[in-house]
Amino acid sequence: MSLINKIPDKPRDHCGVFAVYGVKSAPIAIYNGLFALQHRGQESAGMVVCDGKDMRYCKGMGLVSDVFDGDFADHLPGDIGIGHVRYSTTGSSSPVNVQPFLATCRDGMWATAHNGNLVNASELRDNYQKKGAIFQTSTDSEILLHQLADPSFFSKRDRIRQALAELRGSFAIVIARKDCIYAARDPWGIKPLSIGKLGDGYVVSSETCAMLQVGATFLRDVVPGELIKISASGIKSMRFAGVPNGRYGQCVFEHIYFARPDSFLFGQSVYKVRTDIGRRLATEHPVEADVVVPIPDSGVLAAMGYAQASGISFELGFIRNHYVGRTFIMPTQDSRTSSVDLKLAIVPEVVKDKRVVMVDDSIIRGTTIKKRVEIMRACGAKEVHVRIACPPTRHPCYFGIDFPDPSELVASGCSVEQVRDLIGADSVGYLSIKGLCSVLDQPQHFCMGCFDGKYVCETHNATNRQTLGKSCGGNVIDRYKRKK
Protein backbone atom coordinates (compact mmCIF):
# COMPACT_ATOMS: atom_id res chain seq x y z
CA MET A 1 0.00 0.00 0.00
CA SER A 2 1.37 3.42 -0.90
CA LEU A 3 1.91 6.14 1.65
CA ILE A 4 -0.80 8.24 0.03
CA ASN A 5 -3.39 5.52 0.61
CA LYS A 6 -2.59 5.50 4.28
CA ILE A 7 -3.52 9.12 4.85
CA PRO A 8 -6.37 9.44 7.39
CA ASP A 9 -9.33 11.70 6.73
CA LYS A 10 -8.87 14.09 9.64
CA PRO A 11 -5.25 14.78 10.50
CA ARG A 12 -4.47 17.16 13.35
CA ASP A 13 -1.33 19.24 13.18
CA HIS A 14 0.96 20.86 15.69
CA CYS A 15 3.32 23.04 13.72
CA GLY A 16 5.38 26.20 13.59
CA VAL A 17 5.06 29.12 11.19
CA PHE A 18 7.47 31.90 10.30
CA ALA A 19 7.06 34.81 7.88
CA VAL A 20 9.13 37.79 6.74
CA TYR A 21 8.44 41.02 4.91
CA GLY A 22 11.07 43.45 3.60
CA VAL A 23 13.92 41.27 4.85
CA LYS A 24 17.03 40.88 2.72
CA SER A 25 18.01 37.29 2.05
CA ALA A 26 14.51 36.18 3.02
CA PRO A 27 15.16 32.45 2.46
CA ILE A 28 18.10 32.51 4.87
CA ALA A 29 16.04 34.34 7.49
CA ILE A 30 13.18 31.87 7.05
CA TYR A 31 15.60 28.94 7.27
CA ASN A 32 17.03 30.24 10.56
CA GLY A 33 13.56 30.94 11.90
CA LEU A 34 12.29 27.47 11.04
CA PHE A 35 15.45 25.94 12.49
CA ALA A 36 14.61 27.63 15.80
CA LEU A 37 11.06 26.25 15.55
CA GLN A 38 12.16 22.70 14.70
CA HIS A 39 10.92 21.46 18.08
CA ARG A 40 7.38 22.20 16.89
CA GLY A 41 7.56 19.81 13.96
CA GLN A 42 10.10 17.34 12.64
CA GLU A 43 8.30 15.56 9.81
CA SER A 44 8.45 18.19 7.10
CA ALA A 45 9.46 21.73 6.30
CA GLY A 46 8.80 24.21 3.54
CA MET A 47 9.00 27.83 2.48
CA VAL A 48 7.64 30.13 -0.22
CA VAL A 49 9.60 33.26 -1.20
CA CYS A 50 8.47 36.13 -3.43
CA ASP A 51 10.55 38.80 -5.19
CA GLY A 52 7.61 41.09 -5.80
CA LYS A 53 6.64 39.31 -8.99
CA ASP A 54 7.07 35.55 -8.80
CA MET A 55 6.57 33.04 -5.99
CA ARG A 56 9.00 30.15 -5.68
CA TYR A 57 8.98 27.35 -3.16
CA CYS A 58 11.07 24.60 -1.65
CA LYS A 59 9.55 21.98 0.62
CA GLY A 60 9.84 18.33 1.51
CA MET A 61 9.83 15.62 4.14
CA GLY A 62 12.40 15.69 6.92
CA LEU A 63 14.18 18.19 9.13
CA VAL A 64 14.88 21.77 8.12
CA SER A 65 18.53 20.95 7.50
CA ASP A 66 17.54 18.03 5.27
CA VAL A 67 14.97 19.88 3.16
CA PHE A 68 16.98 23.05 2.62
CA ASP A 69 20.49 22.04 1.64
CA GLY A 70 23.19 23.21 -0.73
CA ASP A 71 22.44 26.43 -2.61
CA PHE A 72 18.68 26.42 -2.04
CA ALA A 73 18.67 30.15 -1.24
CA ASP A 74 20.04 31.02 -4.66
CA HIS A 75 16.88 29.64 -6.24
CA LEU A 76 14.53 31.58 -3.96
CA PRO A 77 15.18 35.29 -4.51
CA GLY A 78 13.05 37.82 -2.70
CA ASP A 79 12.41 39.69 0.52
CA ILE A 80 8.90 38.35 1.24
CA GLY A 81 8.11 34.82 2.34
CA ILE A 82 6.53 32.33 4.71
CA GLY A 83 7.76 29.04 6.16
CA HIS A 84 6.37 26.05 8.01
CA VAL A 85 7.52 23.04 10.04
CA ARG A 86 5.04 20.28 10.67
CA TYR A 87 4.22 17.22 12.64
CA SER A 88 0.98 15.41 12.00
CA THR A 89 -0.73 14.14 15.12
CA THR A 90 -2.69 11.33 13.49
CA GLY A 91 0.01 9.84 11.31
CA SER A 92 -0.75 11.68 8.04
CA SER A 93 2.92 11.98 7.22
CA SER A 94 2.97 12.51 3.47
CA PRO A 95 4.58 14.83 0.91
CA VAL A 96 1.17 16.05 -0.27
CA ASN A 97 0.54 17.60 3.15
CA VAL A 98 3.79 19.57 3.36
CA GLN A 99 3.15 23.29 3.76
CA PRO A 100 3.09 26.10 2.72
CA PHE A 101 0.29 25.51 0.21
CA LEU A 102 0.10 27.53 -3.00
CA ALA A 103 -2.76 28.28 -5.35
CA THR A 104 -3.43 30.56 -8.29
CA CYS A 105 -6.65 32.56 -7.97
CA ARG A 106 -8.12 35.15 -10.33
CA ASP A 107 -6.03 37.82 -8.65
CA GLY A 108 -2.76 35.91 -8.64
CA MET A 109 -0.82 33.58 -6.38
CA TRP A 110 -1.57 32.94 -2.72
CA ALA A 111 0.53 30.92 -0.27
CA THR A 112 -0.65 29.87 3.19
CA ALA A 113 0.80 28.12 6.23
CA HIS A 114 -1.23 27.08 9.26
CA ASN A 115 -0.65 25.89 12.80
CA GLY A 116 -3.69 24.47 14.56
CA ASN A 117 -6.77 22.34 14.10
CA LEU A 118 -10.10 23.42 12.62
CA VAL A 119 -12.97 21.65 14.35
CA ASN A 120 -15.38 22.49 11.52
CA ALA A 121 -12.97 21.33 8.81
CA SER A 122 -15.09 18.35 7.78
CA GLU A 123 -18.17 20.49 7.26
CA LEU A 124 -16.33 23.13 5.23
CA ARG A 125 -14.54 20.51 3.17
CA ASP A 126 -17.76 18.64 2.46
CA ASN A 127 -19.50 21.83 1.36
CA TYR A 128 -16.76 22.62 -1.13
CA GLN A 129 -16.60 19.08 -2.45
CA LYS A 130 -20.36 19.14 -3.07
CA LYS A 131 -19.73 22.20 -5.25
CA GLY A 132 -17.11 20.30 -7.23
CA ALA A 133 -13.94 21.51 -5.49
CA ILE A 134 -10.96 19.17 -5.64
CA PHE A 135 -8.72 18.90 -2.59
CA GLN A 136 -5.09 17.98 -3.10
CA THR A 137 -4.29 17.15 0.54
CA SER A 138 -5.89 15.55 3.59
CA THR A 139 -5.13 18.43 5.95
CA ASP A 140 -7.59 21.07 7.11
CA SER A 141 -5.04 23.78 6.30
CA GLU A 142 -6.02 23.63 2.62
CA ILE A 143 -9.52 24.91 3.35
CA LEU A 144 -8.42 28.54 3.57
CA LEU A 145 -7.14 28.43 0.00
CA HIS A 146 -10.53 27.21 -1.20
CA GLN A 147 -12.18 30.04 0.69
CA LEU A 148 -9.90 32.61 -0.89
CA ALA A 149 -10.70 31.25 -4.36
CA ASP A 150 -14.43 30.93 -3.66
CA PRO A 151 -16.46 33.33 -5.87
CA SER A 152 -18.78 34.06 -2.97
CA PHE A 153 -15.82 35.39 -0.98
CA PHE A 154 -13.99 36.87 -3.95
CA SER A 155 -16.67 39.47 -4.50
CA LYS A 156 -16.47 40.71 -0.91
CA ARG A 157 -14.36 43.65 0.09
CA ASP A 158 -12.63 41.95 3.00
CA ARG A 159 -12.62 38.37 1.83
CA ILE A 160 -9.78 37.23 4.08
CA ARG A 161 -11.58 38.51 7.14
CA GLN A 162 -14.83 36.96 5.97
CA ALA A 163 -13.11 33.63 5.39
CA LEU A 164 -11.37 33.62 8.76
CA ALA A 165 -14.64 34.38 10.55
CA GLU A 166 -16.04 31.06 9.29
CA LEU A 167 -13.22 28.99 10.80
CA ARG A 168 -13.76 27.30 14.16
CA GLY A 169 -11.01 25.89 16.33
CA SER A 170 -7.35 26.81 16.66
CA PHE A 171 -5.27 28.57 14.05
CA ALA A 172 -2.23 30.75 13.66
CA ILE A 173 -2.04 31.51 9.95
CA VAL A 174 0.45 33.33 7.74
CA ILE A 175 -0.33 34.24 4.14
CA ALA A 176 2.04 35.46 1.43
CA ARG A 177 1.19 37.60 -1.57
CA LYS A 178 3.56 39.08 -4.13
CA ASP A 179 3.69 42.42 -2.29
CA CYS A 180 2.66 41.70 1.32
CA ILE A 181 2.10 39.15 4.05
CA TYR A 182 -0.88 38.56 6.32
CA ALA A 183 -1.04 36.93 9.74
CA ALA A 184 -4.06 35.92 11.81
CA ARG A 185 -4.81 34.25 15.11
CA ASP A 186 -8.00 32.48 16.15
CA PRO A 187 -10.43 34.42 18.37
CA TRP A 188 -9.54 32.37 21.43
CA GLY A 189 -5.79 32.86 20.96
CA ILE A 190 -5.25 29.12 21.35
CA LYS A 191 -2.08 29.09 19.25
CA PRO A 192 0.67 31.68 19.76
CA LEU A 193 1.77 34.15 17.08
CA SER A 194 4.02 37.19 17.46
CA ILE A 195 5.30 40.13 15.41
CA GLY A 196 8.90 41.37 15.37
CA LYS A 197 11.04 44.01 13.68
CA LEU A 198 14.12 43.06 11.67
CA GLY A 199 16.03 45.97 10.15
CA ASP A 200 13.61 47.82 7.91
CA GLY A 201 11.37 44.75 7.67
CA TYR A 202 9.20 42.56 9.85
CA VAL A 203 8.90 38.94 10.96
CA VAL A 204 5.96 36.90 12.24
CA SER A 205 6.63 33.76 14.26
CA SER A 206 4.94 31.06 16.32
CA GLU A 207 7.49 31.72 19.06
CA THR A 208 9.78 34.58 19.99
CA CYS A 209 12.79 32.25 20.17
CA ALA A 210 12.84 32.28 16.36
CA MET A 211 12.98 36.06 16.38
CA LEU A 212 16.04 35.94 18.60
CA GLN A 213 17.57 33.44 16.19
CA VAL A 214 17.36 35.88 13.26
CA GLY A 215 18.17 39.02 15.26
CA ALA A 216 14.66 40.48 15.26
CA THR A 217 13.15 42.57 18.06
CA PHE A 218 9.83 41.48 19.54
CA LEU A 219 7.06 44.04 19.02
CA ARG A 220 3.86 42.37 20.23
CA ASP A 221 1.62 39.34 19.92
CA VAL A 222 -0.96 39.08 17.18
CA VAL A 223 -4.17 39.70 19.09
CA PRO A 224 -6.75 36.89 19.21
CA GLY A 225 -9.28 37.57 16.47
CA GLU A 226 -6.90 39.94 14.68
CA LEU A 227 -5.77 39.93 11.05
CA ILE A 228 -2.68 41.97 10.29
CA LYS A 229 -1.35 43.02 6.90
CA ILE A 230 2.32 43.94 6.51
CA SER A 231 3.21 45.84 3.37
CA ALA A 232 5.16 48.89 2.20
CA SER A 233 2.71 50.97 4.27
CA GLY A 234 3.72 49.18 7.48
CA ILE A 235 1.44 47.16 9.74
CA LYS A 236 -2.31 47.42 9.28
CA SER A 237 -4.48 45.83 11.97
CA MET A 238 -7.98 44.54 11.28
CA ARG A 239 -10.45 42.58 13.35
CA PHE A 240 -12.32 39.58 12.00
CA ALA A 241 -13.83 38.37 15.29
CA GLY A 242 -14.56 39.51 18.80
CA VAL A 243 -13.68 37.71 22.01
CA PRO A 244 -16.07 34.77 22.45
CA ASN A 245 -17.57 34.67 25.94
CA GLY A 246 -15.26 37.48 27.00
CA ARG A 247 -12.25 35.21 27.52
CA TYR A 248 -9.36 33.73 25.61
CA GLY A 249 -8.30 30.09 25.48
CA GLN A 250 -4.52 30.10 25.24
CA CYS A 251 -3.15 26.56 25.19
CA VAL A 252 -1.57 25.88 28.56
CA PHE A 253 0.36 22.94 27.10
CA GLU A 254 2.48 25.43 25.17
CA HIS A 255 3.95 26.56 28.48
CA ILE A 256 4.16 23.05 29.90
CA TYR A 257 5.71 21.22 26.97
CA PHE A 258 5.76 22.57 23.42
CA ALA A 259 7.39 25.98 23.57
CA ARG A 260 11.12 26.49 23.85
CA PRO A 261 12.27 27.82 27.24
CA ASP A 262 13.77 30.95 25.69
CA SER A 263 10.42 32.01 24.24
CA PHE A 264 8.15 34.71 25.64
CA LEU A 265 4.68 33.24 25.28
CA PHE A 266 1.24 34.68 26.06
CA GLY A 267 2.94 37.52 27.90
CA GLN A 268 5.16 35.34 30.11
CA SER A 269 8.62 33.82 30.05
CA VAL A 270 8.39 30.08 29.41
CA TYR A 271 11.56 29.61 31.47
CA LYS A 272 10.07 31.32 34.50
CA VAL A 273 6.70 29.57 34.23
CA ARG A 274 8.34 26.14 34.20
CA THR A 275 10.69 26.82 37.11
CA ASP A 276 7.80 28.30 39.12
CA ILE A 277 5.78 25.17 38.34
CA GLY A 278 8.61 23.09 39.82
CA ARG A 279 8.66 25.17 42.99
CA ARG A 280 4.93 24.82 43.40
CA LEU A 281 5.18 21.08 42.75
CA ALA A 282 7.69 20.74 45.57
CA THR A 283 5.29 22.52 47.91
CA GLU A 284 2.35 20.34 46.93
CA HIS A 285 4.20 17.01 46.84
CA PRO A 286 7.25 17.00 49.12
CA VAL A 287 9.18 13.80 49.69
CA GLU A 288 12.36 12.77 51.49
CA ALA A 289 14.89 12.04 48.77
CA ASP A 290 18.55 12.29 47.86
CA VAL A 291 18.45 13.63 44.33
CA VAL A 292 16.12 15.35 41.86
CA VAL A 293 16.49 14.05 38.30
CA PRO A 294 14.73 15.65 35.31
CA ILE A 295 13.51 13.99 32.15
CA PRO A 296 15.21 16.08 29.44
CA ASP A 297 14.45 18.42 27.91
CA SER A 298 11.00 19.69 28.89
CA GLY A 299 11.26 18.42 32.48
CA VAL A 300 14.56 20.17 33.26
CA LEU A 301 13.25 23.54 34.40
CA ALA A 302 10.48 22.09 36.55
CA ALA A 303 13.09 19.82 38.17
CA MET A 304 15.33 22.83 38.82
CA GLY A 305 12.45 24.62 40.51
CA TYR A 306 11.62 21.51 42.55
CA ALA A 307 15.24 21.18 43.69
CA GLN A 308 15.47 24.87 44.60
CA ALA A 309 12.29 24.78 46.66
CA SER A 310 12.99 21.44 48.35
CA GLY A 311 16.70 21.81 48.94
CA ILE A 312 17.33 18.41 47.34
CA SER A 313 20.34 18.10 45.07
CA PHE A 314 19.68 18.51 41.33
CA GLU A 315 21.49 16.01 39.10
CA LEU A 316 21.37 15.10 35.42
CA GLY A 317 20.56 11.44 35.77
CA PHE A 318 19.53 11.13 32.12
CA ILE A 319 21.51 12.27 29.11
CA ARG A 320 19.50 12.98 26.00
CA ASN A 321 20.55 11.83 22.54
CA HIS A 322 19.69 14.92 20.49
CA TYR A 323 19.68 12.96 17.25
CA VAL A 324 16.40 11.33 18.29
CA GLY A 325 13.24 13.41 17.98
CA ARG A 326 10.68 14.25 20.64
CA THR A 327 8.80 11.00 21.24
CA PHE A 328 5.56 12.72 22.24
CA ILE A 329 5.24 14.30 18.78
CA MET A 330 6.11 11.23 16.76
CA PRO A 331 3.22 10.23 14.50
CA THR A 332 2.56 6.65 15.58
CA GLN A 333 2.56 4.68 18.79
CA ASP A 334 5.05 2.21 17.30
CA SER A 335 7.54 4.96 16.52
CA ARG A 336 7.10 6.48 19.98
CA THR A 337 7.66 3.15 21.71
CA SER A 338 10.68 2.17 19.62
CA SER A 339 12.33 5.54 20.26
CA VAL A 340 12.02 5.48 24.04
CA ASP A 341 15.22 3.53 24.69
CA LEU A 342 17.14 5.52 22.08
CA LYS A 343 16.23 8.98 23.32
CA LEU A 344 17.72 8.93 26.83
CA ALA A 345 20.68 7.23 28.44
CA ILE A 346 20.84 6.94 32.21
CA VAL A 347 23.89 7.83 34.31
CA PRO A 348 23.97 4.88 36.77
CA GLU A 349 26.18 6.53 39.40
CA VAL A 350 23.70 9.38 39.82
CA VAL A 351 20.83 7.11 40.89
CA LYS A 352 22.51 4.04 42.40
CA ASP A 353 21.52 3.55 46.04
CA LYS A 354 19.63 6.87 45.94
CA ARG A 355 16.08 7.95 46.66
CA VAL A 356 15.22 9.69 43.41
CA VAL A 357 12.62 12.32 42.57
CA MET A 358 12.08 12.02 38.81
CA VAL A 359 10.41 15.11 37.31
CA ASP A 360 8.69 15.12 33.93
CA ASP A 361 6.41 17.60 32.19
CA SER A 362 3.44 15.23 31.79
CA ILE A 363 2.18 11.67 31.61
CA ILE A 364 0.08 11.07 28.52
CA ARG A 365 0.03 7.41 27.54
CA GLY A 366 2.40 6.20 30.27
CA THR A 367 4.67 4.47 27.74
CA THR A 368 7.86 6.41 28.33
CA ILE A 369 7.62 7.08 32.06
CA LYS A 370 7.17 3.38 32.83
CA LYS A 371 10.36 2.47 30.99
CA ARG A 372 12.30 5.19 32.75
CA VAL A 373 11.19 4.02 36.18
CA GLU A 374 12.23 0.50 35.20
CA ILE A 375 15.69 1.58 34.08
CA MET A 376 16.20 3.53 37.29
CA ARG A 377 15.34 0.43 39.28
CA ALA A 378 17.71 -1.63 37.13
CA CYS A 379 20.51 0.86 37.85
CA GLY A 380 20.07 0.52 41.60
CA ALA A 381 17.74 3.35 42.64
CA LYS A 382 16.38 2.64 46.12
CA GLU A 383 13.18 4.64 45.57
CA VAL A 384 11.66 6.37 42.55
CA HIS A 385 9.19 9.18 43.22
CA VAL A 386 7.59 10.62 40.08
CA ARG A 387 6.54 14.27 40.04
CA ILE A 388 4.59 15.67 37.11
CA ALA A 389 4.60 19.36 36.19
CA CYS A 390 0.92 19.48 35.18
CA PRO A 391 -2.41 18.07 36.37
CA PRO A 392 -3.55 14.61 35.20
CA THR A 393 -4.37 14.65 31.49
CA ARG A 394 -7.81 13.04 31.52
CA HIS A 395 -9.56 14.56 28.53
CA PRO A 396 -8.93 14.73 24.79
CA CYS A 397 -7.64 17.81 22.98
CA TYR A 398 -9.47 18.91 19.84
CA PHE A 399 -7.22 21.80 18.95
CA GLY A 400 -4.01 20.22 17.70
CA ILE A 401 -2.36 18.46 20.65
CA ASP A 402 -1.77 14.75 20.12
CA PHE A 403 -4.20 13.15 22.56
CA PRO A 404 -7.60 13.13 20.85
CA ASP A 405 -8.74 9.74 22.19
CA PRO A 406 -9.46 9.37 25.93
CA SER A 407 -8.64 5.66 25.71
CA GLU A 408 -5.01 6.64 25.07
CA LEU A 409 -4.78 8.72 28.26
CA VAL A 410 -3.60 6.71 31.21
CA ALA A 411 -5.03 9.20 33.73
CA SER A 412 -8.46 9.07 32.07
CA GLY A 413 -9.31 5.64 33.44
CA CYS A 414 -6.91 5.39 36.40
CA SER A 415 -6.59 7.00 39.78
CA VAL A 416 -3.24 8.45 40.83
CA GLU A 417 -2.59 5.30 42.87
CA GLN A 418 -3.35 3.12 39.85
CA VAL A 419 -1.00 5.19 37.69
CA ARG A 420 1.66 4.73 40.36
CA ASP A 421 1.22 0.97 40.30
CA LEU A 422 1.12 0.87 36.51
CA ILE A 423 4.42 2.71 36.04
CA GLY A 424 6.08 1.03 39.03
CA ALA A 425 6.91 4.17 41.05
CA ASP A 426 6.99 4.51 44.82
CA SER A 427 4.79 7.59 44.57
CA VAL A 428 3.29 9.87 41.95
CA GLY A 429 2.45 13.53 42.45
CA TYR A 430 0.74 15.71 39.86
CA LEU A 431 0.63 19.49 40.00
CA SER A 432 -2.89 20.63 40.90
CA ILE A 433 -4.95 22.85 38.62
CA LYS A 434 -4.91 25.46 41.37
CA GLY A 435 -1.13 25.21 41.52
CA LEU A 436 -0.85 25.61 37.76
CA CYS A 437 -3.10 28.65 37.83
CA SER A 438 -0.97 30.22 40.55
CA VAL A 439 2.04 30.55 38.22
CA LEU A 440 0.11 31.90 35.24
CA ASP A 441 -0.79 35.52 34.61
CA GLN A 442 -4.51 35.78 33.91
CA PRO A 443 -5.15 32.01 34.25
CA GLN A 444 -8.77 32.51 33.24
CA HIS A 445 -7.52 33.14 29.70
CA PHE A 446 -5.99 29.66 29.32
CA CYS A 447 -7.62 26.53 27.96
CA MET A 448 -7.25 23.63 30.39
CA GLY A 449 -9.78 21.33 28.76
CA CYS A 450 -7.32 18.43 28.68
CA PHE A 451 -7.24 18.59 32.49
CA ASP A 452 -10.78 19.56 33.51
CA GLY A 453 -12.86 18.81 30.40
CA LYS A 454 -13.98 22.45 30.14
CA TYR A 455 -13.21 23.73 26.66
CA VAL A 456 -13.15 27.37 25.66
CA CYS A 457 -14.95 26.78 22.37
CA GLU A 458 -16.91 24.12 20.57
CA THR A 459 -15.01 20.90 19.97
CA HIS A 460 -16.98 19.79 16.92
CA ASN A 461 -19.57 21.07 14.48
CA ALA A 462 -22.42 22.56 16.48
CA THR A 463 -25.95 23.45 15.39
CA ASN A 464 -26.16 26.73 17.27
CA ARG A 465 -22.87 28.56 16.85
CA GLN A 466 -22.07 31.98 18.18
CA THR A 467 -21.46 34.72 15.67
CA LEU A 468 -17.91 35.50 16.70
CA GLY A 469 -17.91 39.08 15.48
CA LYS A 470 -21.00 39.81 17.61
CA SER A 471 -20.05 37.84 20.71
CA CYS A 472 -18.84 40.90 22.57
CA GLY A 473 -18.62 44.63 22.16
CA GLY A 474 -15.63 46.93 22.25
CA ASN A 475 -12.28 46.84 20.56
CA VAL A 476 -10.64 43.43 20.86
CA ILE A 477 -7.15 44.89 20.44
CA ASP A 478 -7.57 47.45 23.23
CA ARG A 479 -9.13 44.77 25.45
CA TYR A 480 -6.16 42.48 24.86
CA LYS A 481 -3.62 45.22 25.60
CA ARG A 482 -5.33 45.98 28.89
CA LYS A 483 -5.20 42.29 29.83
CA LYS A 484 -1.50 42.15 29.03
Answer yes or no: is 318 within a domain: yes
Which tens digits make up the pLDDT trace of 141-169?
Answer: 899 999 988 888 776 778 899 999 999 99
pLDDT digits (tens, 9 = 90+) for 408-451: 899 998 999 999 999 999 999 999 999 999 999 999 999 999 99
The pLDDT value recorded for residue 408 is 83
Please check whether residue 53 lies inside any domain of the structure.
Answer: yes
Rounded CA separation 129/200 (Å): 43
Confidence of residue 200 (pLDDT cuts 50, 70, 90): very high
pLDDT at 134: 85
Residue 107 confidence (pLDDT) above 90:
no
Phi/psi class of residue 176: alpha, beta or left (left: φ > 0; alpha: ψ in -120 to 50)? beta
Q: Number of structural domains, the chain?
A: 2
CATH number assigned to the domain comprising residue 416: 3.40.50.2020
Is residue 483 situated within a structural domain? no
Domain of 133 in residue numbering reads as: 4-249
Strands 169-176 and 108-118: antiparallel
d(CA 160, CA 148): 7
Q: Are 178 and 292 part of one and the same domain?
A: no
The answer to the question of residue 218 being in a domain is yes
- 269 and 120 belong to one structural domain: no
| Same domain as 424, residue 287 | yes
Same domain, 216 and 281: no
Averaged confidence pLDDT in the chain: 87
What per-residue confidence (pLDDT) applies to 471?
29
Report whether pLDDT(338) > 70: no
Active-site pick, 15, 379, 450, 457: 15
Q: CB within 8 A of 220, min separation 6: which ones?
A: 194, 195
Closest CA relative to residue 448, chosen from 190, 119, 185, 224: 190
Judge whether residue 124 has pLDDT over 70. Answer: yes
- What would the mean pLDDT of 83-104 be, rounded to a whole number? 81
Q: Give the CA diameter of the chain.
A: 73
CATH number of the domain where residue 16 is located: 3.60.20.10
Question: Is 450 an annotated catalytic residue?
Answer: no
